[in-house]
Structure 1
Amino acid sequence: MDGGRLFSVRGERIIALGRAILAAFLCLSLVVGHVADDAIVRGLIVGYLAYSLLMLAGTRSRLFVYGVLRRPWLTSGLDFAVFTVLLFLTNGAESPFFSPFIFMILSGTLQWGSRGAVVMGGLTLTAFVATSLGSFQSQIFVLRIGYTMVITIMMAAFGGHLERVVQELSRLSDPIGPDAEDGEAPLADALRHALRVFGARRGMALLESEEPYAQLLLLGDGELESRRLPPTADGWVLGEAADGVFLYEAGAGATLVRSGRWTYVGAAQPLAPALREAASFQRVLAIPARSQGLSAWLFVLDHHEPANEDLAIGEMVGAQASMALERWEAQREQQAAAAVEDRIRLARDLHDGVLQFLAGAGLQLDALDRMPDLPDAVRGRLATLRQAIVEEQRELRGFISAMRPTDGAGRAATGSLKGELDALAERLSRYWSIEVSADADPFDTAAPEPLLYDLRWIVREAVANAVRHGQADRVRIEARANGRMLDLTIQDNGRGFTRNPTEPPRSLHERARALGGRLDVQNDPGGCRLVVHTPLDLAS
Structure 2
Amino acid sequence: MQQHATGAELTERRAGSDAVGQTGQVIRLARIACSAVMIATYSQSSPDAWAADPVMMLLLAHFALAIAGTLAVRRLWWLDPLLAPAETLLDFLAVSVALYATDALLGPFFVFGVPLFMSALLRWGWREAVIVATAFIAVYAAGGWIDWQQRGLAALDYGRLLARTGGFTVTVLVATWIGKHPRVIALSSPRIPPNDSDRTRTLLLELRRLAGAETVTLATVHDRSAVTIRSTDPAMDGMTAGFAPEQLLAITRRFLFQLDPPRKVIDRGWLFGRGALSRRVGAYEVLASLHARQALVVPISVQDVRGIVVVARRNGMSTDMLDLAPWIASQVSAAFLDDLRFRSVRREALMEARLRAAQDVHDTVVQDLAGTVFRLQALKSWITAGREAGSEIDRLSEDVRSAQTRVRDYIGRLRAPDDSTAPCDLLAEVEAASEMSSRTWGIACRTIGPPEPVPAPAWLGQELAMVVSEAASNAARHGEASELAFRLTVEAGEIELTIEDNGRGFPEVPGASAAPWSLNRRVLALGGTLTLHSSGRTRIVVNIPFEGQSDQA
**Hey, what's the Cα distance between the residues in 2 that align with 1:89 and 1:400?**
99
* Structure 1 position 106, deviation (Å): 2.0
Query: Closer, same or farther in 2 for the Cα pair 1:530/1:365, shift >3 Å?
Result: closer
In 1, are the aligned partners of 2:371 and 2:441 still within 8 Å (CA)?
no
Q: 1:139 aligns with which of 159, 167, 174?
A: 159
Q: Does 1:50 align with 2:70?
A: no
State how 1:311-322 maps to structure 2 within 5 Å.
none
In 2, are the aligned partners of 1:362 and 1:386 still within 8 Å (CA)?
no
Q: Does 1:30 align with 2:39?
A: no
Q: 1:151 aligns with which of 166, 171, 190?
A: 171
Identity of aligned residues (%): 21
Question: Match of 2:95?
Answer: 83
Q: Does 1:109 align with 2:121?
A: yes
TM-score by length of 1: 0.51
Query: Closer, same or farther in 2 for the Cα pair 1:109/1:173, shift >3 Å?
Result: farther
State how 1:192-271 maps to structure 2 within 5 Å.
none
Question: Match of 1:444?
Answer: 453
Q: 1:498 aligns with which of 509, 512, 524?
A: 509
Q: Does 1:461 align with 2:473?
A: no
Q: 1:396 aligns with which of 396, 400, 404?
A: 404
Question: Match of 2:85?
Answer: 73
1:479 counterpart SS class: strand
State how 1:342-381 maps to structure 2 within 5 Å.
374=386, 378-379=387-388
Residue deviations 1:430-457 (CA, integer Å, cap 9, x gap)? 7667775533346311345554333222
TM-score by length of 2: 0.50
Query: Closer, same or farther in 2 for the Cα pair 1:470/1:177, shift >3 Å?
Result: farther
**Hey, what's the Cα distance between the residues in 1 that align with 2:514 and 2:67?**
82
Unaligned runs of 5+ in 1: 1-5, 181-185, 191-312
- Matched to 1:43, the amino acid is P
* Structure 1 position 157, deviation (Å): 5.2
**Hey, what's the Cα distance between the residues in 2 that align with 1:126 and 1:90?**
17
- Matched to 1:69, the amino acid is D
Unaligned runs of 5+ in 2: 1-17, 204-326, 549-553
Which one has more relative contact order, counting CA pairs under 8 Å at least 6 apart? Answer: 2
**Hey, what's the Cα distance between the residues in 2 that align with 1:492 and 1:367?**
26
In 1, are the aligned partners of 2:371 and 2:440 still within 8 Å (CA)?
no
1:531 counterpart SS class: strand
Equivalent residues, number: 372
* Structure 1 position 384, deviation (Å): 6.4
In 1, are the aligned partners of 2:422 and 2:457 still within 8 Å (CA)?
yes
**Hey, what's the Cα distance between the residues in 1 that align with 2:522 and 2:471?**
12
1:533 counterpart SS class: strand
In 2, are the aligned partners of 1:16 and 1:55 still within 8 Å (CA)?
yes
**Hey, what's the Cα distance between the residues in 1 that align with 2:446 and 2:376?**
32
Question: Match of 1:212?
Answer: none
Q: Does 1:521 align with 2:530?
A: yes
* Structure 1 position 56, deviation (Å): 0.9
